């Protein structure tokens, strides 16, 4: 199996894309630490992984609490060994609409969760990875990363910042054996998109989301999960610091910053 012997940590692992990623990494042989705020859904994911023959344990924590993140990583490494693969998936998208109408606290929560969260987790995980001279971090980006996102400015701004964070940290890590990647999962139907579809603000300001789903544009979360396994295996190490896109739904046609990636990874 591609991740045999690896120790993985996934944030936002209780639902949606995060759960799919955790399940795929466990199925590929990794021992997986599940991180998120909701202990019950984390436990459900852990139970499902164990029932399928994998190894997983829930570690409830808020990624915005650096001290809690540090405790969780210490506990996960005590249980499973040193981390080799970290996936920053936990995200928020609550502020929908023009900035003069949205709740400022919700707008800032989107930015903090999507950017400060990966910073906290990466900051806590990197010292051990650097000491061991190996490790990979995956940051999930999304809408607004490379283009304007009207009425989703908090989410889009944070994801654009997360890509630049990935690039900057990637350059900083050059020559250390530790690598960082950005992963764009494409438009995936999750609880987050349900909020966009069902909330009054979403229906008013993001009506195109429903149309996209009606048109059949719905990337299964398993594609991002499969790509995370390939990244964790080292296949795309030569593309460290860049954004890899799973949206086409076929790793053979995977594109990186608009260019075909197949054959460039290890």
Known catalytic residues are: 155
Any domain includes 49:
yes
Asked if residue 24 is part of any domain, the answer here is yes
In a domain, 160, yes or no: yes
The residue-averaged pLDDT of 91-112 equals 96
DSSP helix/strand/coil, 9: strand
Residue at 33 is within a domain = yes
In a domain, 266, yes or no: no
Total domains in the fold of the chain: 1
Q: How confident is the model at residue 191 (pLDDT cuts 50, 70, 90)?
A: confident
71 in a domain, yes or no?
yes
H or E element that contains 8:
strand 7-11
For residue 200, being part of any structural domain is answered with yes
Average pLDDT score, the chain? 91
pLDDT tens digits along 136-177: 999 999 989 989 999 999 999 999 999 999 999 999 999 999
Q: Domain of 87?
A: 7-260
The per-residue pLDDT for range 25-41, each reduced to its tens digit, is 999 999 999 999 999 99
Spell 126-142 as b/e; 16+ CB within 10 A means b. Answer: bebbeeeeebbbbbbbb
Q: Which is it for the CA torsion 173, 167, 239, 247, positive or negative?
A: positive
> Coil, helix or strand for 208?
helix
CB count in 10 Å sphere of residue 215:
9
| 44 found inside a domain | yes
**CATH code, 127:** 3.40.50.720
């Amino acid at each position: 199996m591609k991740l045999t012997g690896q120790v993985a940590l996934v944030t936002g692992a209780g639902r949606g894309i995060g759960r799919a990623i955790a399940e795929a990494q466990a199925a590929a042989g990794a021992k997986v630490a599940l991180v998120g705020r909701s202990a019950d859904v984390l436990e459900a994911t852990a139970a499902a992984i164990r029932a399928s023959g994998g190894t997983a344990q829930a570690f409830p924590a808020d990624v915005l609490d650096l001290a809690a993140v540090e405790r969780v990583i210490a506990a996960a490494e005590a249980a499973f060994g040193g981390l080799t693969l970290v996936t920053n998936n936990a995200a928020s998208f609550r502020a929908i609409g023009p900035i003069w109408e949205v709740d400022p606290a919700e707008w800032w929560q989107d930015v903090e969760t999507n950017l400060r969260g990966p910073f906290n987790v990466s900051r806590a995980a990197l010292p051990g990875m650097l000491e061991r001279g190996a490790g990979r971090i995956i940051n999930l980006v999304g809408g607004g990363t490379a283009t304007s996102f009207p009425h989703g400015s908090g989410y889009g701004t944070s994801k654009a910042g997360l890509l630049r964070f990935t690039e900057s940290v990637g350059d900083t890590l050059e020559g250390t054996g530790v690598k960082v990647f950005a992963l764009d999962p494409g438009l995936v139907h999750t609880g987050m998109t349900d909020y966009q579809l069902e909330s009054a603000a979403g229906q008013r300001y993001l009506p195109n989301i429903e149309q996209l789903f009606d048109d059949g544009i719905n990337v299964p979360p398993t594609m991002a999960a499969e790509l995370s396994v390939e990244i964790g295996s080292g296949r795309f190490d030569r593309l460290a610091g860049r954004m890899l896109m799973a949206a086409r739904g076929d790793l053979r046609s995977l594109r990186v910053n608009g260019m075909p990636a197949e054959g460039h990874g290890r």
